[in-house]
Structure 1
Amino acid sequence: MKNQFIKLFSIAIVSAITLTSCENGFEEMNTDPNALTTPSPKSMFTLAEVYMDGQDYSNTRANNIYAAQIVQQFSSIGGAGSVYSYDGGYSGSLFGESYGKGLSQIYQLLSVLPNTAENSNMIQACRIMKVFMFQKLTDTYGEVPYFEAGKGYNGNIFSPKYDTQQAIYNDLLKELDEAGDALDASKPFVGNADLFYQSDVAKWKKMANSLMLRVAMRLSKVDAAKSKLYVEKAFAKGVFTSNAESLVLKHDASPQGVKTNPITSTWVINDLQNGEGSVKFSKTFIDLLKNNNDPRLRIYAKLEATKDNNPANQQGLANDAKEIPGGDIKLFSDPNTSTVLRTDAPTLIMSYAEVQFFLAEAVVKGWNVTGTAQQHYEDGVKAAMEILTIFGDKVPAVTTAEYNAYIATPGIAFDAPNALKQIGTQKWIVLLFNGIEAFSEYRRTGFPVLVPVNAPAGVTNGTIPRRLVYDQSELFTNGANYKEAIQRQGLDLMTTRVWWDK
């Protein structure tokens, strides 16, 4: 499998270099790959999967520096996310990279795939991946180019209009509904070119339905009826039922930037600095786990300078800290390089545990999914602990006895009046390294309860941000459509709420 991955990835990289320059923006979507070379659809599909959850550019900036610090999973002294200051390069990174790499790759692939039965499963999988990327984009910024995006290939539209988030969400649900149904195990797929599920159509269907559950639940405050309809539909069709079905992308330890984990490799190679790096676990995150004897702490955290992962010695850095308490940054916890911060650590893109927490919330709301809120909540916590085995065996896995003790802890044990707070807080923990999704869920649910930071460098008057600011190159390359979008949505500020954030 490893040799097959290397072969496929090498072909994909060559295809990508030939077909597109893979820089930021829409321009890269406007080149016809058929005019340049004979495309290799399977290797293009592989590269689309690699790009789907972002590369090191956006993951370092929008994900780790902004979103994960806004929701206080991580912290750094004066960091843009910690103090809510504005940095155009960081803020716009997801916008530029998504259109310039991930979505560009999908649109290129779809442009060269004949709409035949032989290609049907690949086409449906592309539709599902496109939904994943567009939901992340619209959740982060609000209105974005959607219906006209990618039309440069065959529509000569080089300045795509921005669409309302409501219209985008309606289409995301339609796409998942249709694409999931159209997947067919009797038709060809791509074999091992599928890095997610090795062309297991049943698992792809569950991925589509689980993503539908996530998309639908995001509407719970703004359109409860539609949210309920699609949550129930996703559940009825069949969502993840075990950790074995979670969406995971595996990586290798080298070469950097080709097969390494884009979230962790830059951190380890450039920023960790033997424990002297500026980004640390937040005090909010460490204290929550430490105060509840959470057995995941030894797996998540380590003092890199001393290689100490003893939970009792872990210490988080407050997001409002103006200087290093005690003067020694090495005394504050880093992500564990033996587990979650390995350069070959797998990316946990969407987990069975998240699905269980969504279902627990649905039961609390009285929606038609089977099981009790308590059972889904407890199964979610257990799954969140058990899936950490994907990060290797250098640190002991959470035992059944540890889980049983944890789930009985006051404040952790299911408490119906506080169920939504408990569900949201546990989801925040499992979304570690998935800061963009944690940021979206925090805005939707209000959990976990966070204390805002009011710093002189901040641009939000001490309120927790509600979105990121667009890539400012749009002012010059797509100015009229950008201005029309902010007239509808509101000023291009971190405090402007997106449509579903009521």
Structure 2
Amino acid sequence: MKKILMPFLLIGLLQSCGRESMEELNTDPNSYYTTVPSTLVTYAEKQLADYVTTPNVNTNNFRFLMQYWQATTYADESRYDYSTRNVSNSVWTFLYVRTLKNLEEAKKLVNNYAPTAAEAATWDTTKKNQLAVIDLMQVYTYQILVDTYGDVPYTEALDVDKYPLPKYDSGSVIYEDLIKRTQQDIQNINTSAGSFSSGEKFYNGNTTKWKKFGNSLLLKLGITLADSNPTLAQSTVQAAINGGVFTSSADDFLMPYSTSPNFSQLYSNLVASNRNDYVAGKTLVDYMNASADPRRSSYFQLRNGQYIGGPIGVNSPFSGYSSPGTYAYTQTTPGILLNYTEVAFYLAEAAARWNIGGSAAANYATAVTASFLQWGKTAAEATAYLATHPYDPANWKKSIGEQAWVAMYDQPITSWTFWRRLDYPQLTPAANAVAESEGKVPVRLKYPVSEQTTNPTNYGAASTAINGDKLTSKIFWDKF
């Protein structure tokens, strides 16, 4: 495609999007929608990956919530205070404004693109592939939003000219549509042709990998519905398995971070910020210490010859506890959005629930082994670990839930969903937790303050529909 360069384009794309209100979606002064679609795809991918992987307390506190890390100085967020910093406003901006809106505009550019003479013969297929790739990223993003809040703007979310105050759609209805979209995207991808020749960072436009990702995303969507809509869940999971999900770490859906200024969000917050705000969390460290889990040396660093975790919800001085592993202090550590380890745990769960996709015990062992290999450990170490942590068919939720929690250490948003669905591990709420957590570990985030003030009618309807805009109001699929 011909490049249409605009003054200050890169500067604009790398800046923040300003105010968080939904009214800003079509008036973002820092996004340039008349450029080539690959530029917007690059920007949206970066913003999505940054949100999923950052430990920044203004944006993503799920490492605290899942008790992987603890704060050294400011423990408010580890106590579930997400209001003081308006965390949800930031989440809304990353996902709606910086990711979904830019992907939507990229779709428009693809649809309006006039191919060159050299491109014309294959453009229809390439166009279809590009649109499918963009749409799969939108599906992934919307799933995060529903899993975080419940009912959210969907059908009216991205056209603020037409819908300046968008309604909130039912989370269950959104899920059903996301499944349909994903199935259509998978069908639309032609693996004999390409998609984006440049700018697409997750798979570099490789349509074979994108199709596998589509099926793996379909698997994730289906598994999440297992307790709320088991019929749809099982058929969706079976379709995903039949279509071909991830089979090794070579399929992982990753953001390949590089050096400055595009280093990982972990490095940005642990090194470039010149701060020491995070240490290991006591809950995970104690669990791993109990069996001398070999992954400890990758997850954490020794402190006085030991792995020591800070108490959850209590200020934990950096000098007294283990810091995160060296992976978090490395500029090029990839950002994980969906990987083989996660998929393998879904397959174990599918087998346990419905006896599909193979043996539950075998898939469980594969998932644990994949985690060991992911963190630089050996298959032999995984086998030894499994001997002391065998799959228990009588309490498969505990087996899968606890081991997925350990394995999803660098995927805290995903870990949160595993925990809510399987109810393991049994986490004790943080000490000194805020009153609005009602003495529980939060199961959702509250809607942004910006929505309460700019879209109060639809906000109020959504709050009522989910039994109150509270940290304790369960997402529709969280039944137990």
Matched, 1:345 2:333: yes
Q: Deviations over 1:456-485 (max 9, x none)?
A: 643223112121111101122222111111
The letter of the residue matching 2:371 is A
CA distance in 1: counterparts of 2:48 and 2:6, whole angstroms = 18
From 16, 22, 26, the equivalent of 1:26 is 22
Of 169, 173, 177 in structure 1, the residue corresponding to residue 175 of structure 2 is 169
User: Given residue 124 of structure 1, which amino acid in structure 2 is its aligned partner?
Assistant: A
Question: How far has the Cα of 1:64 moved from its partner?
Answer: 4.4
Partner residue of 1:104? 101
2:68 to 73, 94, 98: 73
Deviations 1:2-46 (A, max 9, x none): xxxxxx9x999826727996233333431499x977411222222
Show CA shifts across 1:398-443 (max 9, x none): 133322221212xx12232232212111211222232222112211
Query: Where does 1:381-420 land on structure 2 (aligned, <5 Å)?
Result: 381-388=368-375, 397-409=376-388, 412-420=389-397
Aligned to 2:306: 313
Matching residue within 356, 364, 367 for 1:377: 364
Q: Name the TM-score, length of structure 1 as normaliser.
A: 0.85
Q: What is the SS of the residue equivalent to 1:422?
A: helix
Further displaced range: 106-115 or 230-239: 106-115
Q: Does 1:139 align with 2:138?
A: no
Quick check: 1:296 aligned with 2:311?
no
Pairing 1:108-119 to 2, within 5 Å after superposition: 108-114=105-111, 116-119=124-127
Unaligned runs of 5+ in 2: 113-123
- Determine helix, strand or coil for the equivalent of 1:132: helix
Measure the CA separation in 2 of the matches of 1:189 and 1:480: 41
Secondary structure, counterpart of 2:336 in structure 1: strand
Partners in 2 of 1:118 and 1:343 — Cα distance? Answer: 34
Cα deviations by residue, 1:271-315 (Å, 9 ceiling, x for unpaired) = 643xxx3x3211111111121121111011115xxxx6x9x6110
Q: State the match for 1:391 in structure 2.
A: none
C-alpha deviation, 1:186, in angstroms: 3.2
> For residues 264 and 231 of structure 2, what CA distance do their matches in structure 1 show?
39
In structure 2, the CA distance between the partners of 1:339 and 1:359, relative to structure 1 (3 Å rule), is same
Alpha-carbon separation, structure 2, partners of 1:378 and 1:404? 8
Query: Which residue identity does 1:354 align to in structure 2?
Result: E
Counting only pairs closer than 5 Å after superposition, residues 261-300 of structure 1 correspond to structure 2 as 261-270=264-273, 272-273=275-276, 277=277, 279-300=278-299
Q: Distance between the aligned counterparts of 1:271 and 1:380, measured in 2?
A: 36
Distance 2:154 2:257 in 1: 30
Cα distance change, pair 92–61 in 1 and its aligned pair in 2 (3 A):
farther
Q: Distance in 2 between matches of 1:56 and 1:196?
A: 14
**Shift in alpha-carbon separation, 1:281–1:52, aligned structure 2, 3 A:** same
Structure 1 residues 149 and 124: CA distance shift in structure 2, 3 A: same
Q: 1:348 Cα shift?
A: 1.5
Give the superposition deviation at 1:454.
5.2
8 Å Cα contact 1:144-1:164 kept in structure 2: yes
Is the contact between residue 53 and residue 336 of structure 2 (CA under 8 Å) also seen in structure 1? no
- Which residue of structure 2 lines up, in the alignment, with residue 356 of structure 1? 344
- The answer to whether the 8 A contact 2:218-2:237 is kept is yes
Shift of 1:57: 10
Q: Is the 8 Å Cα contact of residues 15 and 44 (structure 1) preserved in structure 2?
A: no
* 1:244 maps to which of 240, 250, 254: 250
Note closer, same or farther for the CA distance 1:268–1:64 as it changes in structure 2 (3 Å cut).
farther
Q: Which moved more, 1:203-212 or 1:447-456?
A: 447-456
1:393 aligns to what? none
Q: Which letter maps to 2:174?
A: I
Could you list the per-position Cα deviations for residues 325-352 of structure 1 after superposition, in whole angstroms to 9, with x for gaps in the alignment? xxx531211112x323323211121111
2:210 and 2:245 map into 1 onto residues whose CA distance is 10
Partner SS, residue 248 of structure 1: strand
Deviation, 1:157, is 1.8
Distance change in 2, residues 1:20/1:184 (3 Å): farther
1:491 to partner: Cα distance: 1.7
Asked if structure 1 preserves the Cα contact closer than 8 Å seen for 2:51 and 2:91, the reply is no
- CA deviation map 1:59-98 (0-9, x unaligned): 5136643x22222112236734432334251243212321
Q: Measure the CA separation in 1 of the matches of 2:220 and 2:59.
A: 19
Q: CA shift at 1:144, angstroms?
A: 0.7
Greater shift, 425-434 or 202-211, is seen at 425-434
Work out whether residues 84 and 465 of structure 1, in 8 Å CA contact, stay in contact via their aligned partners in 2.
yes
- Amino acid of the structure 2 residue aligned with 1:191: S
**Partner SS, residue 408 of structure 1:** helix
**For residues 240 and 12 of structure 1, what CA distance do their matches in structure 2 show?**
41
For 1:289 and 1:467, how far apart are their aligned partners in 2? Answer: 27
Letter in 2 for 1:53: A
CA distance in 1, matches of 2:228, 2:271: 40
Distance in 2 separating the partners of 1:193 and 1:428: 33
Q: State how far apart, in whole Å, the 1-side matches of 2:279 and 2:232 are.
A: 40
Query: Counterpart amino acid of 2:234?
Result: K
Q: Deviations over 1:346-389 (max 9, x none)?
A: 112111111111111111112422x211111111111112123x
Q: In structure 1, list runs of 5 or more residues that go unmatched.
A: 1-7, 389-396
CA distance in 1, matches of 2:232, 2:264: 36
Q: Against the structure 1 CA distance between its residues 253 and 358, is the aligned structure 2 distance closer, same or farther, given a 3 Å change threshold? A: same
Bigger drift between 55-64 and 468-477 goes to 55-64
Equivalent in 330, 337, 340 of residue 319 of structure 2: 330
State percent identity of aligned pairs. Answer: 29
State the 1:185 CA deviation.
2.2
Deviation at 1:448, TM superposition (A): 1.3
| Cα distance between partner residues in 2 of 1:25 and 1:443 | 29
Moved more, 68-77 or 15-24: 15-24
Task: Tell me the TM-score normalized by structure 2.
Answer: 0.89
Query: Which of 35, 38, 52 is equivalent to 1:39?
Result: 35
Q: May I ask how many residue pairs the two structures share in their alignment?
A: 461
